[in-house]
Amino acid sequence: TIDAEDFEAYIRVMPHSEYPSASQCICLAGTQFTETILAQFGLDFPFPFTVPNPAPSFSQNMPFEAGSSKIEPGITPSMDINVAFNSFREYADICGESRLWGGMHFDAAVKNTIDLCDGIGTKSFQAMINLKNGNDAAFPDEAYQEIQPFEEAYRNELESTLGKKEAKKRLKGNKMDKCKGKNDKEDKKRQDDFVLPMMDNINDNNKYD
């Protein structure tokens, strides 16, 4: 047993609720989304695959070099290593477990999130197809009436974890608004160059009601 005052996470812990693990949810949803896309095209992923791996080539395996850790430079890892995965599910599980190993979550937050988020990736793919096909019926207005604006949700989260005084300091120094215009332009370019062509290709090969 370790007293809370004596515990320090291996990796920085963000100021939001510990339970459930959002990272485990993202890991699972991302892999399920990828599996769904590959299935639509009848493609198989080249398992096993290793990380790190320089995109787009899967033929050259570049290791995590010995001593390259940002937390323990010169010490960890003790030798060059690669991490190999034999399935998307194994990747999702290890991805989520890494949050436990880094000290950001307790075991229950990681394990219970799997049931909570199972299926989100597949539904996200279908939502993308519905958006592309203009299927407005799939997005009833009443489903979005209680969605909290991001700025309001962000402020409430900070206040609940840090207290109103500290949250006010954080919000005052927030640079999100200053970056918004630049980020909007970058997002638009990224959408024009990558997302829309990808969706056109998917839509041409798969017609959905």
Better-predicted residue by pLDDT, 79 or 46 = 79
* CA end-to-end span of the chain: 55
pTM above 0.75, yes or no: no
Q: Give the rounded percent of residues in the chain with a pLDDT score beyond 90.
A: 33
The band of 144, judged by pLDDT with boundaries at 50, 70 and 90, is low
The band of 197, judged by pLDDT with boundaries at 50, 70 and 90, is low
pLDDT of residue 28: 95
The band of 52, judged by pLDDT with boundaries at 50, 70 and 90, is confident
pLDDT of 208 higher than 60: no
For residue 49, give the 3-state DSSP assignment.
Answer: strand
* Four-residue CA torsion sign, 24, 27, 28, 33: positive
pLDDT of 32 higher than 90: yes
Residues 10-31 as b or e (16 or more Cβ within 10 Å = b): eeeeeeeeeebbebbbbbbbbb
H-helix segments, the chain: 22-41, 88-101, 107-117, 120-132, 150-162, 164-172, 176-190, 196-205
